[in-house]
Amino acid sequence: MHSALPLRHFLLALAVVAVWGTNFVVIKLALGHMQPLLFATLRFALAVVPAIFFFPRPAVPWRNLAAYGLLIGVGQFGLLFVAMNGHISPGLASLVIQVQVFFTIGLAMRLSGERLQRIQWLALALATAGIGIIVMHTDGSTTVLGLGLILLAAMSWAGGNITSRKAGQVNMVGYVVWSSVFAVPPLLALTLAVNGWDAVAKGLQGATIGTWAAVAWQAWGNSLFGYAAWGWLLARYPAATVTPMALLVPLFGMGSSALWLGEGLPGWKLAAAALVMGGLALNLLWPYVRARLLSPSNVA
């Protein structure tokens, strides 16, 4: 396995994080024409069909697929879309949801009985301080409700991470496709319960070509291309080489939101981003830095 990314594979990783980051702008634009739960329903329906005819079902229990579909489909994206429907700005949403890293660590340690290391407590404190700054600056574009929904979405994402880890080494694209089968029915039921048939019909009739393009981008660009390319890179390079690229997702999210939607970047928002991303970077990169510092060549 190689340790450094050649230029073409670096550009592939950059394309993935760019898709994941700018996706928040795509979501915001689509929500201007369609109800959030209906948008989520269509996103996962399009992730299933026609891909399900080309990817065999992974050799994992149905309950694992169902749990992942519910956690990611209803929990993560359902709540994310509702939150972004007027309760939080796209840039901040792309930043705050990254605290799923700490929720994932917490769940993993609770299951294994391990404890946080000192450096992880420091990383968590930095990210928490950043979230605290956001809480103190809630306004018309970002509310406490929106922030709370994003944190719940991050918790659901963390639960999905733990669930997918239990699935073992599987084709991640096939896993996403087949688990999405379990996301569609509850999302559709919630859509009808919250909005009703008339509103759903109106939303479908009022959808523009741009709206359908956003749905396709969610299903094929964000999920299928993103997971396929990321999984391909992780299969060929060490995680320490690939995963730090994910730190660029909030940069693309906040940058594209400022560029295309005119979202402001005042000092407090930049400070919050620095603290959250600093905590994420410390947690992600410290194990590799420590291993290098303690390597025999450096010790000698």
Domain ranges of the chain: 7-299
Mean pLDDT of 219-242: 81
211 within 8 A of 30, measured Cβ to Cβ: yes
Q: What is the pLDDT of residues 193-217, one digit of tens each?
A: 998 888 888 888 888 898 999 999 9
Q: What is the pLDDT of residue 297?
A: 59
Binning pLDDT at 50, 70 and 90, where does residue 282 land? confident
Q: What does the block give as tokens for 256?
A: 């594209």
Q: What is the pLDDT of residue 266?
A: 87
Buried-state track 23-42, b at ≥16 Cβ within 10 A, e below 16: bbbbbbbbbeebbbbbbbbb
Highest mean pLDDT among 73-82, 262-271, 274-283: 73-82
Q: What is the pLDDT of residue 179?
A: 94
Residue 58 DSSP label: P
73 within 8 A of 44, measured Cβ to Cβ: yes
Q: What is the pLDDT of residues 147-171, one digit of tens each?
A: 999 999 999 998 998 898 888 888 8
| Measured CA distances, 18 to 22, 25, 248 (Å) | 6, 11, 8
Binning pLDDT at 50, 70 and 90, where does residue 239 land? low
Q: What is the dihedral of CA 249, 97, 52, 178, to 10 degrees?
A: 140
Q: What is the pLDDT of residue 240?
A: 65
125: pLDDT strictly greater than 80:
yes
Distance separating alpha carbons of residues 16 and 18, to the nearest angstrom:
5
Lowest average pLDDT, out of 18-32, 52-66, 266-280, goes to: 266-280
Q: Give the rounded percent of residues in the chain with a pLDDT score beyond 90.
A: 41
Whole-prediction pTM value? 0.85
Q: What is the pLDDT of residues 36-69, one digit of tens each?
A: 999 999 999 999 999 999 999 999 999 999 999 9
